[in-house]
A and B are shown apart, each in its own frame.
Chain A
Amino acid sequence: MASMLKDWGQFTFEDKWPCMRPIILKLLKQEPVTQGEWQDLFFSVHLVCLENEKGPPKLRDALKEDIMDFIKQAQQRVLAHQEEQALLKAYIAEWGKFFTQCNYLPTPFRQLETSLAGKTSSTPQKRNQPDESIVRKLMLDSWNQSIFGEIKQRLQDSAMRLVRAERNGEAFDSQLVIGVRESYVNLCSNTTDKLQIYRENFEAAYIEATEAFYWVKAPEQLSLHGVENYMRYAEAKLREEELRAQKYLEPNSASVQLLTECCVRVLVATFKPAILAECPRMIQHHQTDKLRLMLKLMDRVPEGVGPMLRDLEEHIANAGLADMMAAVDVITQDSEKYVERLLDLFRRFSTLVKEAFDDDPRFLTARDKAYKLVVNDATVFRLELPPRQGAGVGTAVVNSKPNNNNNGQPESKCPELLANYCDMLLRKTPLSKKLTSDEIESKLRDVLLVLKYVQNKDVFMRYHKAHLTRRLILDTSADSEKEENMVEWLREVGMPADYVNKLARMFQDIKVSQDLNQQFKEQCRAAIADSINIKILNAGAWARGSERVTVSLPLQLEDYIPEVEDFYKKKHSGRKLQWYHHMSNGTITFSNQVGRFDVDVTTFQMAVLFAWNQRPMEKISYENLRLATELPDPELRRTLCSLCAFPKLKRQLLLVDPPAHSPKDFAHDSRFWVNQEFAIVKNGKLQKRGKINLIGRLQLSTERSKEEDNQSIVQLRILRVQEAIIKILKMRKKINNAQLQTELVDILKNMFLPSKKMIKEQIEWLIEHKYIRRHDEDINTFVYMA
Chain B
Amino acid sequence: MADSEQDNTDRGDGDNLKSDKLFTLKKWNAVAMWSWDVECDTCAICRVQVMDACLRCQAESKKDFYGRQDCVVVWGECNHSFHYCCMSLWVKQNNRCPLCQQEWSIQRMGK
The answer to whether A532 and B31 touch (CB under 8 A), given A572-B111, A574-B111, is no
Surface stretch bound by B, among A68-76, A314-322, A431-439, A539-547: A539-547
| CB-based contact A577/B30 at 8 Å | no
Contact with A along B72-111 (1 / 0, CB 8 A): 1101000000000000000000000000000000001111
Contact with A along B37-72 (1 / 0, CB 8 A): 100000000000101100000100110011001001
CA of A542 to CA of B31, assembled, Å: 11
The answer to whether A531 and B69 touch (CB under 8 A), given A540-B49, A592-B8, is no
| CB-based contact A533/B28 at 8 Å | yes
| CB-based contact A578/B33 at 8 Å | yes
| CB-based contact A532/B35 at 8 Å | no
Which of A497, A610, A616 counts the most B-chain CB atoms under 10 A from its CB?
A616
| CB-based contact A575/B37 at 8 Å | yes
CA of A598 to CA of B27, assembled, Å: 10
The answer to whether A536 and B34 touch (CB under 8 A), given A507-B66, A592-B8, is yes
Chain A nearest CB from B68 CB (Å) reads 8
| CB-based contact B30/A574 at 8 Å | no
User: Which B residues lie within 8 Å of A538 (CB)?
Assistant: 33-35, 51
- Tell me, yes or no, whether A85 is within 8 Å of chain B by CB: no
| CB-based contact B27/A532 at 8 Å | yes
User: Which B residues lie within 8 Å of A595 (CB)?
Assistant: 15
Indicate which residue in A475, A580, A603, A617 contacts B5 across the interface (CB closer than 8 Å).
A617
| CB-based contact B62/A497 at 8 Å | yes
Indicate which residue in A536, A572, A574 contacts B33 across the interface (CB closer than 8 Å).
A536
- Tell me, yes or no, whether A674 is within 8 Å of chain B by CB: yes
Please count the residue pairs between chain A and chain B whose beta carbons lie under 8 angstroms apart in the complex: 178
Indicate which residue in A498, A568, A593, A606 contacts B8 across the interface (CB closer than 8 Å).
A593
| CB-based contact B30/A590 at 8 Å | no
- Tell me, yes or no, whether A296 is within 8 Å of chain B by CB: no
Interface size class of A (residues with CB under 8 A): 35 or more
| CB-based contact A593/B11 at 8 Å | yes
| CB-based contact A587/B22 at 8 Å | no
| CB-based contact A591/B16 at 8 Å | yes
User: Which A residues lie within 8 Å of B8 (CB)?
Assistant: 592-593, 617, 676
Which of A575, A595, A609 counts the most B-chain CB atoms under 10 A from its CB?
A575
Indicate which residue in B26, B33, B36 contacts A542 across the interface (CB closer than 8 Å).
B33
The answer to whether A588 and B32 touch (CB under 8 A), given A491-B65, A540-B49, A617-B5, is no
CA of A475 to CA of B31, assembled, Å: 12
The answer to whether A564 and B32 touch (CB under 8 A), given A539-B51, A586-B25, A590-B23, is yes
CA of A580 to CA of B34, assembled, Å: 10
User: Which B residues lie within 8 Å of A557 (CB)?
Assistant: 25, 28, 30
- Tell me, yes or no, whether A756 is within 8 Å of chain B by CB: no
| CB-based contact B109/A540 at 8 Å | no
Indicate which residue in B15, B19, B26, B49 contacts A586 across the interface (CB closer than 8 Å).
B26
Indicate which residue in A533, A537, A540, A590 contacts B52 across the interface (CB closer than 8 Å).
A540
Contact with B along A565-596 (1 / 0, CB 8 A): 00010011111111111011111111111011
Q: Which of B's residues lie within 8 Å of A, judged by CB?
A: 4-5, 7-9, 11-12, 15-16, 19, 21-37, 49, 51-52, 58, 61-62, 65-66, 69, 72-73, 75, 108-111
Q: Return 17 A-B CB contacts under 8 Å, by A number.
A: A531-B28, A535-B30, A535-B32, A536-B33, A538-B35, A539-B35, A539-B51, A540-B35, A557-B28, A561-B30, A573-B109, A574-B37, A575-B111, A587-B26, A591-B21, A606-B25, A613-B22
Q: Which of A's residues lie within 8 Å of B, judged by CB?
A: 473, 475, 488, 491, 497-498, 500-501, 504-505, 507-508, 531-540, 542-543, 554, 556-557, 560-561, 564, 568, 571-581, 583-593, 595-596, 598, 603, 606, 609-610, 612-613, 616-617, 674, 676
With A574-B108, A580-B32, A593-B15 known, 5 other A-B pairs at CB within 8 A are A473-B29, A501-B62, A532-B28, A572-B34, A586-B27
